[in-house]
Chain A
Amino acid sequence: MLKFALWRLVELVPVLVGVSILVFFFIHLIPGDPAVVMAGDIATPKDIAAIRTRLGLDQPLDVQYLKYMAHLFHGDLGQSIQTNSPIAAELGDRLPASLELALTAMGIAVVVGLAAGVVSAMRPGSAVDTASMVGALVGVSMPIYVLGLIAIWFFAVQLKWLPPGGRLGTDTVLVKVTGLFVLDSIVAGNWRGLGDAVAHLAIPACALSTVPMAIIARITRSSLLDVMAQDFIRTAYGKGLAGRAVVVRHALKNAMLPVVTVLGMQFGVILSGAVLTETIFAWPGIGRWVYEAIQTRDYPVVQGMTLFIGLVFIATNFLVDILYAWLDPRIQYQ
């Protein structure tokens, strides 16, 4: 197992180098001069030259890349052009917001998606099955920016049940410990704060969970149906086990393999979709930051966050591979 994990880690090296080169050369691969784009419409050649010097764009490419990598290994993602503050520090401030939203959405997606998939697979062709699979198909077809806006309109504007955006009401005070507000308020015993944090989390997390939920439900169903048709399941029934025991103890673990893969990928998708989600819900995480950076042409922020989210995506997929090998030891020997 350890050997397998190390081997997968070694295999990651070329991908990581590739990713760093890709993100670094974003500036250079792309036709047009980023300094001109960043300077805006009314810039003089002198302004453009100044931006070029500040970004180090006037140095040879290999020097630029090595400098960039050296900074990176020291945890230095560069500086924001707008605020002149280090990007890594602001990332630390904003990451908990994005994580809280992504984890909550993922949690909802897993619980509901798995349940729907299992129930559907138990009674294929039944009304429950048809309903949840039609729901899943509609679910994958709903872009977050449409569903989110409809949800805000319905729950916040029409019914006035929930706040339309943000993480906390203006009159709520919370002591920051982890930056995950739900956790912080529980630790502090601040129940009013907890209620406020959950209320703000409700619409964005539910809206964000629909696509992964739909995909998890579909994969669970087809994977479980596959497993249920195999011989060892018939054997389990044959030795007199009850239906529930067969499904829970024998079928489900074996059916989880494809589901785990999808889980890992969906987590990355949620994080990368954060730009849209957080823009709609005025959620102060890294996605909204990227959106603001695009508006203000704060190029290093876009570059740094692309790299960061890319790395999280790679790390997640690595963990999924390891989990996969643990669930199915045969994989290690292939």
Chain B
Amino acid sequence: MVTPTLPAPTATRDGLAPRQSSQFADTWRALRRDPSGRAGMALLVFFLLLACLGPAASPQNPLTQDIAARLQPPSRAHWLGTDELGRDVTSRIAHGAHLSLGVGVISVLLAMVVGGMVGLVSGTQRGLVDRVLMRVMDTMMAFPTTLLAIAVVSLRGPGLMNTLLAIGVIRVPIFARLTRSTALSIRVIEYVAAAHAMGARAPRIMLRHILPNSISPLIVQATLGVGSAIVEAAGLGFLGLGQQPPYPEWGEMLGSSYVYLIRAPWAMFAPGVAIILAVLAFNLFGDALRDAIDPRIRRHA
């Protein structure tokens, strides 16, 4: 007979339930397995570095004009050629990154915070407040977004700040409706009733109980929304309504160089490709994030 020995301390976990992995870790694992998630993350890291380090790392001053060397094809001195004022296109792309990407990200964050608050209040308070807020959101949604942004910016006057505001404001209803619908489904679950019974007030219920549970669809929606926000911001820049010259913003660069389409297509291609890749990065990552967070959709996508 062998006397049973105490199991070694390291082995104790074996007998227990496996360690609960956090939602964050699960999502991260699913993202890394998904090829489009990997591609999206790689591109995002690249653009993040470009936005942060671009101005410091760019070879030349993006504003220095050299009329003698205008519309030069790509060369060793100017990797992506020069534009209509002889400015180095590479440096302008690098300097423009934080403007073009920043407007997209910040405007969506703005929409997410404002829309999230509207949706939370609407979904938990119900009644008259809900009806009024939702009618306002319906009216805003009745407009096609691009047009509304153009109208707002053309009235407020061109500029990056107005672009950011316009693009943020037109996105508020999307986030408001999303948060409201999750709030509506969560407020009927027992633990919210329990919190009510314990005397918790509305703001506490909203922030402690409902918000944390509606945050993941909001994050997915935001990630997917950044791509289209970048497209719209650059579109306004293209029309001359966004960032004003001489400061480089990709849309503005495209708008001022496309008239030289025949002589110097590279001046137009560089910002164009930069916009496409940046939008692709957010769309790839957003798609993968949605699939990772919501496994039900994963089957189909």
Contacts and interface: CB of A to CB of B under 8 A. Distances in A.
**Chain A interface residue count: which class?**
35 or more
Contacts of A226: 300
A149 B144 contact: no
B287 A141 contact: no
Interface stretch (B8-16, B58-66, B215-223, B235-243): B235-243
A31 to B, nearest CB: 7
Contacts of B150: 275, 290, 294
Interface in A199-253: 221-222, 225-226
A272 B147 contact: yes
A153 B157 CA distance: 32
Nearest to A150: B272
A27 interface: yes
A48 B135 CA distance: 36
Contacts of B258: 149, 280
Given A141-B279, A143-B234, A18 B261 contact: no
Interface string A268-285: 110111011001100000
Nearest to A313: B144
B75 interface: no
Interface of B is mostly: helix
A214 B50 CA distance: 29
A242 to B, nearest CB: 25
Contacts of A280: 258
A15 interface: yes
Interface string B260-301: 011001001100110110011001100100000000000011
Interface in B198-241: 227, 231, 234-235, 238-241
A150 B269 contact: yes
A290 B272 CA distance: 23
A309 interface: yes
Given A141-B227, A269-B146, A294 B154 contact: yes
A101 interface: no
A146 B142 contact: no
Contact of B155 (A14, A30, A142, A152): A30
B36 interface: yes
A302 interface: yes
Interface of B: 36, 135-136, 138-140, 142-148, 150-152, 154-157, 227, 231, 234-235, 238-241, 251, 254, 258, 261-262, 265, 268-269, 272-273, 275-276, 279-280, 283-284, 287, 300-301
Interface of A: 14-15, 18-19, 22, 26-27, 30-32, 34, 37, 137-138, 140-143, 145-146, 149-150, 152-153, 157, 221-222, 225-226, 268-269, 271-273, 275-276, 279-280, 290-291, 294-295, 299, 302-303, 306, 309-310, 313-314, 317
15 contacts: A27-B155, A30-B152, A37-B157, A137-B284, A140-B227, A143-B234, A149-B254, A149-B258, A157-B261, A272-B144, A272-B145, A276-B235, A276-B238, A279-B239, A309-B144
